[in-house]
């Protein structure tokens, strides 16, 4: 058994793909045309960190309720955790790319951590040693 995908609601596909692939270094695992339940076009977009089994399904917000959830899927809590091998290099690269950090790096018992926002405004922990 494994967790395959987690849905992340975004405003638009292409800027989200660019953020996750170009800024965070994820791989674009799939980008296929699809249809909503009522026949409207959408895309099946999956990104994942290199070598990871679990990925993110980037889902474009459809309707007022989903648009209101963009960036607030976890009600302001950190909900995603990205562990990197070289914390300083990843942190510097992300800062250079314009990623917003809402908490500066600090040391915790589980390693170094800094909280950042993804393109939708969701909070992530950048984790490393």
pLDDT of 77 reads: 97
Please, what is the average pLDDT of the chain?
A: 96
Dihedral sign (CA 36, 47, 15, 58)? positive
Q: Locate tokens 């690269």: which residue?
A: 93
Report the distance separating Cα 80 and Cα 112, nearest Å: 15
Quick one: average pLDDT of 107-111?
95
Report the predicted TM-score, pTM, of the whole model to 2 decimal places.
0.93
Report the distance separating Cα 21 and Cα 15, nearest Å: 10
10-68 residue pLDDT tens: 999 999 999 999 999 999 999 999 988 888 999 999 999 999 999 999 999 999 999 99
Report the distance separating Cα 57 and Cα 43, nearest Å: 10
Give SS3 for 111. strand
Report the distance separating Cα 17 and Cα 42, nearest Å: 14
13-28 residue pLDDT tens: 999 999 999 999 999 9
The answer to whether 34 and 58 have CB atoms below 8 angstroms apart is no
Quick one: average pLDDT of 96-114?
96
Give SS3 for 49. coil
In the structure encoding, which two tokens stand for residue 118, read together?
């993804």
In the structure encoding, which two tokens stand for residue 89, read together?
């290099």
List domains and CATH numbers for the chain. 1-62 (3.10.180.10), 73-129 (3.10.180.10)
pLDDT of 126 reads: 98
Radius of gyration of the chain (CA): 15
pLDDT of 37 reads: 86
């Amino acid at each position: 058994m494994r967790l395959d995908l987690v849905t992340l609601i975004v405003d638009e596909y292409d800027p989200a793909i660019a953020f996750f692939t170009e800024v965070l270094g994820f791989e674009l695992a799939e980008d296929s045309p699809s249809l909503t339940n009522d026949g409207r076009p959408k895309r099946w977009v999956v990104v994942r960190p290199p070598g990871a089994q679990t990925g993110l399904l980037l889902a474009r917000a459809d309707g007022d309720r989903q648009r209101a959830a963009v960036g607030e899927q976890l009600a302001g809590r950190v909900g995603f955790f990205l562990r990197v091998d070289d914390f300083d290099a990843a942190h510097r690269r992300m800062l250079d790319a314009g990623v917003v950090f809402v908490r500066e790096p600090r040391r915790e018992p589980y390693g170094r951590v800094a909280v950042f926002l993804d393109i939708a405004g969701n909070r992530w922990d950048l984790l490393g040693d």
